[in-house]
Amino acid sequence: MNKRVMFLCLLILIAVINGGCWDKKEFNKISFATAMAVDRIDETYQLTIKVMMPKNASDGDYPVWVVSGNGKSIQDAMDDISKRSPRNIYWSHMDVIILGENVLDNNMYQTLDFFIRGNEFRRRNYFMTTEGKASDLLDISPKLAKINTFYFKSLIEDQNDMIARSAVTLNDVLLGISDRGRDLFIPKLQLQESKDDMHQPQSEEETVAKSEGNGGKEENSIDSDDNMLELKGGALIKDEAFVCWVDEEWVNGFYWIYGNIKRASISIAHPVDETETLSFAIKKSSCDITVNSQEPLSVQLTVRPVLNIVENTMQDKLNQEEGENFLEQIKMAIEEKIKNQVENTIALAKENNVDPFGIGRRIWAYYPQDFAKLDEENYMSSLDISVVVESELKFALIIN
């Protein structure tokens, strides 16, 4: 009897498990938000999202939709979008959030509060910023990615493959505006500059003439694509408020300190002939932050890059003695260039009294008594910071 009861229970269990989905969502009734731009105009939020519409796409009919909504809060703006969306929007697949310049100028935590509380948003969502309106970037459609739903995500993940910790997530943003002894750096997304540093829109007549001159076909050259985006520079944030924009040269120095460079390059003038160039692949790099707790408090940054030569435009043959001197000259030139980059980065940070490197956090964690003596709001401008570079060259690949 017990066996029959057990067998009956087993049949019921199998029937329940194989009964199908009880909370199904029809695929053609949902859409996936993949990127979001947040702007603020006066006291109103403008939310722009890029939505992927699941369906079988045919030529010329790409399943991507860009839609905007306005509201006193981000939730109000989302509700405004929902009123005009033909499908339910699924947010868990969203990868990138771009903050406009006006959002940075206001209380950032007020903006981020929505993403912190929302159960459909992930702490791994990537954050970027831009000068001007963030919504303008969602309309960009480069020729290499006509369906550019994942274009923004690919940009920052490719950079993160080269420089670890260069991608800024929601979790990083929260720590940067709330953690003691560390401020926030957010990478900047912008339209790629053309060769003449200008983007002159073509008239309809010029566009037609250009097309006819090319046999009626669009140019396939990447250089002719005015819709390419790039990560270049960034924004510094302190106490939930925007501090300043920084350029690419500053960011290079920042990554020597903060990032673990795994795949990048650096070039120097040839020690023998300055018109020639030596290029090196950075195989790896690290930075040690050493705190000297003796009065006066000081910090030493030790950058340790490992490099391989990848290009030498001057092909003179060298004997062993000349080669050893040549290697020493190269080593000094590289270390001087890296040191200058790092020192210029630190100088700007001290000028604006901002610490995106986490130096204050290191002091607070390991020397809390010394950190308590510092002015927590202004310690960066008065802190004594020195830079040492100890490079390692792969000698076998340098001498021709």
Say which CATH number the domain at 276 has: 3.30.300.210
Which has more confidence, 22 or 385?
A: 385
End-to-end CA distance of the chain: 88
pLDDT top residue among 61 and 261: 261
pLDDT band at 344 (very low <50, low <70, confident <90, very high): very high
* Position 181 in a domain: yes
Residues 282 and 178 in one domain: no
- 340 pLDDT exceeds 60? yes
Residue 62: what pLDDT?
53
Residue 389 pLDDT greater than 50, yes or no: yes
- Specify whether 184 is located in the same domain as 314: no
260 within some domain: yes
The pLDDT of residue 23 is 61
Report the range out of 79-83, 206-210, 227-231, 291-295 with the highest average pLDDT: 79-83
Does 372 lie in the same domain as 319?
yes
Average pLDDT over residues 120-131: 88
Residue 4 lies in a domain: no
Residue 7 banded pLDDT, cuts 50, 70, 90:
confident
The verdict on 90 and 132 lying in the same domain is yes
Please give the pLDDT value at position 400.
46
Count Cβ atoms below 10 Å from residue 379 Cβ, excluding itself: 19
Please compute the mean of the pLDDT values over residues 169-195 and round it to a whole number. 84
Q: Are residues 259 and 235 in the same domain?
A: no
- Say what the pLDDT of residue 385 is: 94
Q: What is the pLDDT of residue 313?
A: 65
Answer whether residue 148 shows pLDDT above 80: no
pLDDT value of position 226: 59
Domain boundary (246, 274, 309) is at 246
Residues 325 and 186 in one domain: no
When pLDDT is averaged across residues 77-104 and rounded to a whole number, the result is: 86
User: Is pLDDT larger for residue 279 or for residue 246?
Assistant: 246
**141 pLDDT tier (thresholds 50, 70, 90):** low
18-27, 214-223, 374-383: least confident range: 214-223
CA 197 to CA 184: how far, in whole Å? Answer: 29
Residues 89 and 170 in one domain: yes
Query: Residues 202-213: what's their mean pLDDT?
Result: 44
Number of CB atoms found within 10 A of residue 233's CB: 18
- 51-65, 101-115, 196-210, 377-391 — which is least confidently predicted? 196-210
If asked whether residues 236 and 313 sit together in one domain, one would say no
Look at residue 323 in the predicted model and tell me its pLDDT: 61
Q: Read off the pLDDT of residues 282-318 as tens digits, 9 standing for 90 and up.
A: 988 999 999 987 778 899 999 999 998 887 766 655 5
- Which has more confidence, 225 or 270? 270
Name the pTM for this structure. Answer: 0.79
pLDDT of residue 342: 96
Contacts of residue 396, Cβ cutoff 8 Å, sequence gap at least 6? none
DSSP collapsed to 3 states, the chain: CHHHHHHHHHHHHHHHHCCCCCCCCCHHHEEEEEEEEEEEECCEEEEEEEEECCCCCECCECCEEEEEEEECCHHHHHHHHHHHCCCEEECCCCCEEEECHHHHCCCHHHHHHHHHHCCCCCCCCEEEECCCCCHHHHCCCCHHHCCHHHHHHHHHHHHHHHEECCCCEHHHHHHHHHCCCCCEEEEEEEECCCCCCCCCCCCHHHHHHHHHHCCCCCCCCCCCCCCCEEEEEEEEEECCEEEEEECHHHHHHHHHHHCEECCEEEEEECCCCCCCEEEEEEEEEEEEEEEECCCCCEEEEEEEEEEEEEEECCCCCCCHHHHHHHHHHHHHHHHHHHHHHHHHHHHHHHHCCCCCCCHHHHHHHHCHHHHHHCCCCCHHHHCEEEEEECCEECHHHCCC
Indicate whether 180 and 282 sit together in one domain: no
Low-confidence winner among 18-22, 241-245, 286-290 (lowest mean pLDDT): 18-22
pLDDT value at 198 more than 80: no
Give the mean pLDDT of 106-122. Answer: 79
pLDDT in the model for residue 164: 85
Residue 321 lies in a domain: yes
Q: Is 173 domain-assigned?
A: yes
At 89 the pLDDT is 83
Q: What is the pLDDT of residue 398?
A: 46
How does residue 322 score in pLDDT terms, banded at 50, 70 and 90? low
pLDDT of residue 217: 44
Q: Does residue 356 carry a pLDDT above 80?
A: yes
**Is 332 contained in some domain?**
yes
Tell me the residue range of the domain where 174 lies: 28-193+227-246
CA distance 111 to 82: 20
In a shared domain, residues 58 and 187: yes
**Domain count of the fold of the chain:** 2
Q: Give the residue among 102, 150, 101, 162 at the shortest CA–CA distance from 126.
A: 150
Least confident of 168-172, 201-205, 248-252, 319-323: 201-205
Q: Which of 15-24, 65-74, 96-105, 379-388 has the lowest mean pLDDT?
A: 15-24
Residues 236 and 309 in one domain: no
